[in-house]
Amino acid sequence: MSNSHEISGRREFCFTVNGERKTVPAYPMERLLDVLRHQLRLTGTKEGCGEGECGSCAVLMDGILVNSCLVPLLQAQNANILTIEGLAGAGLHNLQQAFLHCGGTQCGICTPGMILAALYLLKKNPFPTIEDIREGLSGSLCRCTGYMQIFEAVEEAARRQTSDEV
């Protein structure tokens, strides 16, 4: 059993972010969102509500979509994390191109989390129906677009994706 100092005191945490191994000093209950944004300067991950309701802070952790505002760093130890910054390679990812082409972005607060939610959906279901898309993105809220452009972007990305993207 660990003592309270180990639970509450600062210590080093190791995990992989966007393919790079990182070690950061932090408190175990510090939010993954804060470490990504403030220590690692990966500001693509946004804080919308801070309560896990909007999906703006969504990242993939060990291949699972999570709201990083709800993940204590203790749970990210040795995890593999993908943020929006890690999605593009030499150029924009298929989903990013589709969001641009279809006008699926406006203010941009929800966009990184929305794109990662769409990626998660397409990995599980490469040929989603519009109902699948609506359900798959239901944890991501957008106040600007009315969702139709976002749904169209995911449909377009699904049509254009290559086998190595799924």
Q: What strand order describes the sheet that includes 80-82?
A: 20-26, 11-17, 80-82, 58-61, 64-67
Quick one: pLDDT at residue 165? 52
Show the domains of the chain with their CATH numbers: 4-85 (3.10.20.30), 94-161 (1.10.150.120)
pTM of the model: 0.89
On whether the CB atoms of residues 114 and 104 are closer than 8 A, the answer is yes
User: DSSP per residue over 78-100, as a string?
Assistant: T-EEE-GGGT-SSS--HHHHHHH
Q: Tokens 């593009």 identify what position?
A: 88
Question: Are the CB atoms for 27 and 20 separated by under 8 Å?
Answer: no
pLDDT of residue 4: 40
User: For each successive 10 residues of the chain (166 residues), what is the average pLDDT?
Assistant: 56 97 96 97 94 95 97 97 91 93 90 96 95 94 88 94 57
Q: DSSP class of residue 104?
A: -
The three-state secondary structure class of 66 is: strand
